[in-house]
Amino acid sequence: MIDVEGVTRRFGDFTAVAEVGFRIQPGEIVGLLGHNGAGKTTLMKMITGYLEPTEGVIRVDGMPVSEDPARVRSLIGYLPENCPLYPEMTVMEYLDFQAGLHGVPEAERPTALARAIRLTELAPKALAPIHTLSRGYRQRVGVAQAILHRPRILILDEPTNGLDPTQILHMRERIRELAKEATVIVSTHILQEVQAVCERVIILRAGRKVVDGRLDELQRARGLQLVVDQPPERVRAALAPVEGVGAVEPAGEHAGRFTYRLEASPEAAPRVARAVQEAGFALHGLCPETRDLERLFAEVQTGGEVRHVA
């Protein structure tokens, strides 16, 4: 559905996006994650045809965006970070205007508007002037304009920016609902949004892709955490003969309890427990050590290598 191949975008001497490549399949919900300034919005504008890459090629539905950007945009619904709204218009007037820009035939507009209003739950505000709406309702209007033409791809740039907790939950529900009909890209710097709605995450750092993988694979258990009452030299000696255990790394000590990270699969846990018991150590804790998205993000922002998990 979307192929990004070796894409770079420069603004004078500044490189905003550097040699980024990935493929997004139909029906995926992908989170594009990175700090502000990481290149997310620039990349989104290139996918939607509003910016041209300095180098590389972007294909949407098999067609290079540069060959026919108007056709490509007809396949995409786009919610920019600061969606331009006309405050003097009512919600219905604005959506009818946007339907015309999206090329929705006049005879089909009532149905298109009714569907967009229903999916975004805008009915109570349909006749209200936009300048009277809260930030949450304005975001709903932005989503409604993006889905008027039933796009096959939906790109949402910071969709929960400025929303209160209740509005955030509502927006997440809408994204899940819309994902049943379209491929969805959520561009954000908020880890919780990716965790809540996405199946796959692409992380950018300083314009470069540093992670690309499914969340369940990226967060799979990577080792064991062991807590005992013995110092490193004794623990390493006790675990050295245990099958499936590699490095034993100290991870802290408090009140006579030593925490270790073990390079081992969860299947090695019974053997580790047996070795600890046979050595006469007091076992205070043994569990798989998982890596949540927050930890992964922190790792790559401090210089981690490129990772890809299919």
State pLDDT tens for residues 30-69: 999 988 889 999 999 999 988 999 999 999 999 999 898 8
pLDDT at residue 308 greater than cutoff 70: no
Contact predicate 69/75, CB 8 Å: no
Residue 215: the pLDDT is: 86
Contact predicate 81/161, CB 8 Å: yes
Mean of the per-residue pLDDT values for the chain? 90
Query: How many other C-beta atoms can be found within 10 angstroms of the C-beta atom of residue 105?
Result: 9
* Residue 82 binned pLDDT confidence (cut-offs 50, 70, 90): confident
* Residue 309 binned pLDDT confidence (cut-offs 50, 70, 90): very low
Backbone phi, psi, residue 211, to 5°: -145, 140
Hey, CA dihedral for 173, 197, 161, 83, is it positive or negative? negative
* Residue percentage of the chain with pLDDT more than 70: 96
Residues in the chain: 310
Residue 78: the pLDDT is: 93
* Residue percentage of the chain with pLDDT more than 90: 65
User: Mean of the pLDDT values across residues 274-290?
Assistant: 93
pLDDT at residue 281 greater than cutoff 50: yes
User: Mean of the pLDDT values across residues 140-147?
Assistant: 93
| Radius of gyration of the chain, Cα coordinates, nearest whole angstrom | 25
Domains of the chain: 2-218 (3.40.50.300), 223-289 (3.30.70.100)
DSSP strand E in 71-198: where? 76-79, 153-157, 183-188
Q: Please name which of 198, 207, 173 lies closest in space to residue 293, comparing C-alpha atoms.
A: 198
- 175 or 294, which is more confident: 175
